[in-house]
Chain A
Amino acid sequence: MIAGRLRFETSHATEFVDITKLVSQEVRRSGLRTGRIHLQSMHTTLGLAINENEPLLLRDFQKLLERLAPGDAGYEHDDFARRFEISIDEPVNGHAHCRQLLLTGFATLLVEEGELVLGRWQSVFAVELDGPRHRELAMQLDGDFEEKKAGDADSDLIELELARQLMVDPDPVGAPMRRLMEAGGKRLRPKLVQLASQIGPHHDALRAASLAAAVELLHNATLVHDDYVDESTHRRGRPTVAAAEGAERAIAVGDYYFAKATRLIAEIGNTGVTSTMADALEAICAAQIDDVALRGAFPGDHDSYLRVVRGKTAALFAASCASGALLSDAPPEVVEALRRFGELLGVAFQMADDMVDFSPSSGKPVGLDIRQKVLSLPLIYAAEDRSVGPEVRRLLAGSLGDEEVGRVTELVTSSDALRRVGDEARGLVDAAVRELESIELDGLRPTLVGIARSAVDRTA
């Protein structure tokens, strides 16, 4: 049995939201081969239905609901003078509750050969009756699941631990963080924690998962504040916490998960791990201040870039590797080698991330770093370039509208900058891999090397 939640947004007062794809994805992700998926609405003004997704028919359904429970029929539920303990923002929605009574709040769908069993014209709908709102369906899957591959177990453990931690958090802070985490993320740092935690003589998978989850929460807490500082509107294809819920909420969410992550780390009870993570957090915050200060001298120089990136990105990579190894009581020389591996990998990762800003096939908007004046090595190299440098510097010194950003992108792409950054990132990964040569890794070297190589190969 697997349990979870499906979360989505609605955008209209009455809306038939086709959740068939969403439900199918959950079935595939779960590995359920033959069985059932049960859905239950967590709201009294959200129904479930299985029917045909044909726009005119959906309008017919909407009209039917309006005829059976008109919005202006005068519902006793909306007579606030006669009700007790109503909240200040209580909506006038007697009609929506009555319409929900005509639908159902539950659905069970069959699964065969890993796919939902649906007729040709059948789609699964969540029926919004009082939107727009954030909505949630409880979900349980039972039946026969495919056997997991050995390598999947650790990743599953991280996801389970993250889900467990997020589930208990109060909604005002938990809901925005759940949305951010559900939108994706590579989970590189927790993977490094888990791998490193298998190197020493005392491997405890549950403690490692707890530390890995704390590291991921800490990373995401810093992102929530970063997005406010950078005035970013989107992350992982979704609105940032600051953009969606305001700066005040973003500050509170960041602080909550900063505190929660440090608590989870403290509760592990390993002083070396606690100190390592605390040092990293301090380095990140100091580097963020330097990063913003350097925007006055945009695009900056190579030395300043390295100083900021070592703190802003590499510190947490290094701490993830070192703390995992410390947790397993690995010898000091192994901990230090892994710390250096993580630091080199972190810098290389950031350089690769900078290159993504110039890749139209990355899925991210091109030129975002330029627009936000974020420290970026390709820009530094392009500004130093003998042929395009003068124009790049002139454009970056002025105001950066769409035209200027487009031209800078063109100049960077036409110069040698991206090749230089790519070479440098790969050189750092080679150096990181060399750090692993002198230590006993109990068969984990190929996985660590694979992670390191893939971290810099993501421009496409």
Chain B
Amino acid sequence: MNVQVLDRELDRLEGLWEQGLSDTYRSYLEAVGDHEPEMQPKLALAAALIEVGIRLQGLGGHAAPAATLLMGDLCLARASRLLADNATQAVQVAFAKAIEGLSTAAASGKPSRPVRELLVHALSATA
């Protein structure tokens, strides 16, 4: 995959890319094979941004400091825009439901399924 395709999508997140977002992105590339080739990098990046975003926020753990939380929020928002522009309605809904589930578990102090497992599952959603 050509990472240059993602240049615009990494605006303001370049530091995160160096700090592990790139590895997370690569791990999701394996899960997007069933989607149109031009969509694959964007969908993998959306999933990676959500995983990194909620980790930055401290969802389900200790709350992040304000500035880090806002960076996590931006990751989620960027992912949401990537999905809006590139994913089917079914995938968009599945991603949203995954975050709803993770947030509910965090608010209830209950464990949830691993984030990556949930997001890989969301990538395979069909109408």
Instruction: List B82-127 residues whose CB lies under 8 Å from chain A.
Output: 83-85, 89, 92-93, 95-100, 102-104, 106-108
Q: Are A172 and B107 in contact (CB under 8 A)?
A: yes
Q: Does B1 contact A (CB under 8 A)?
A: no
Q: Does B3 contact A (CB under 8 A)?
A: no
Q: Does A228 contact B (CB under 8 A)?
A: yes
User: In whole angstroms, what is the CA distance A170 to B61 when docked?
Assistant: 19
User: In whole angstroms, what is the CA distance A170 to B100 when docked?
Assistant: 10
Q: Are A225 and B100 in contact (CB under 8 A)?
A: no
> Can you list, as one digit per residue, whether each of A247-273 has a CB less than 8 Å from chain B (1) or not (0)?
111111111101110110011010100
User: In whole angstroms, what is the CA distance A228 to B67 when docked?
Assistant: 11
User: In whole angstroms, what is the CA distance A289 to B60 when docked?
Assistant: 22
Q: Does A274 contact B (CB under 8 A)?
A: yes
Q: Does B69 contact A (CB under 8 A)?
A: yes
Q: Does B59 contact A (CB under 8 A)?
A: yes
B-contacting 9-mer, from A40-48, A61-69, A278-286: A278-286
- Residue count of chain A within 8 Å CB distance of chain B: 39
User: In whole angstroms, what is the CA distance A267 to B127 when docked?
Assistant: 11
Q: Are B12 and A248 in contact (CB under 8 A)?
A: no
The answer, among B66, B95, B104, for a CB contact under 8 Å with A173, is: B104
Main secondary structure of the interface of A (DSSP, over half): helix
Q: Which residue of B lies closest to A248 (CB)?
A: B63
User: In whole angstroms, what is the CA distance A292 to B103 when docked?
Assistant: 25
User: In whole angstroms, what is the CA distance A225 to B64 when docked?
Assistant: 11
Instruction: List B36-77 residues whose CB lies under 8 Å from chain A.
Output: 54, 57-64, 66-67, 69-71, 73-74, 76-77
Instruction: List B15-49 residues whose CB lies under 8 Å from chain A.
Output: none
Main secondary structure of the interface of B (DSSP, over half): helix
Q: Are A285 and B93 in contact (CB under 8 A)?
A: no
Query: Total A-B pairs in contact (CB under 8 Å)?
Result: 128
> Can you list, as one digit per residue, whether each of A419-437 has a CB less than 8 Å from chain B (1) or not (0)?
0000000000000000000
Q: Does A275 contact B (CB under 8 A)?
A: yes
The answer, among B84, B98, B103, for a CB contact under 8 Å with A252, is: B103
The minimal Cβ–Cβ distance linking B33 to chain A, given in whole angstroms, is: 23
The minimal Cβ–Cβ distance linking B95 to chain A, given in whole angstroms, is: 8
The answer, among A170, A229, A249, A285, for a CB contact under 8 Å with B66, is: A229
User: In whole angstroms, what is the CA distance A255 to B95 when docked?
Assistant: 12
Q: Are A251 and B57 in contact (CB under 8 A)?
A: yes
- Residue count of chain B within 8 Å CB distance of chain A: 40
The minimal Cβ–Cβ distance linking A395 to chain B, given in whole angstroms, is: 24
Q: Which residue of A lies closest to B90 (CB)?
A: A266
Given A252-B107, A255-B99, A255-B102: A282 and B92 interface contact (C-beta under 8 Å): no
Q: Are A289 and B74 in contact (CB under 8 A)?
A: yes
Chain A residues near B62 (CB-CB < 8 A): 248
Chain B residues near A260 (CB-CB < 8 A): 96, 100
Given A172-B104, A248-B106: A228 and B63 interface contact (C-beta under 8 Å): yes
Q: Are B104 and A288 in contact (CB under 8 A)?
A: no
> Can you list, as one digit per residue, whether each of A281-301 has a CB less than 8 Å from chain B (1) or not (0)?
110111011001000000000
User: In whole angstroms, what is the CA distance A250 to B97 when docked?
Assistant: 19
Q: Are A289 and B71 in contact (CB under 8 A)?
A: yes
Q: Which residue of A lies closest to B11 (CB)?
A: A286
Q: Are B107 and A249 in contact (CB under 8 A)?
A: yes
Q: Are B103 and A255 in contact (CB under 8 A)?
A: yes
Chain A residues near B108 (CB-CB < 8 A): 170, 172
Please indicate which of the listed interface residues A225, A250, A259, A281 has the most CB atoms of chain B within 10 Å of its own CB.
A259
Give the interface of A toward B (CB within 8 A): 170, 172-173, 225, 228-229, 246-256, 258-260, 262-263, 266-267, 269, 271, 274-275, 277-279, 281-282, 284-286, 288-289, 292
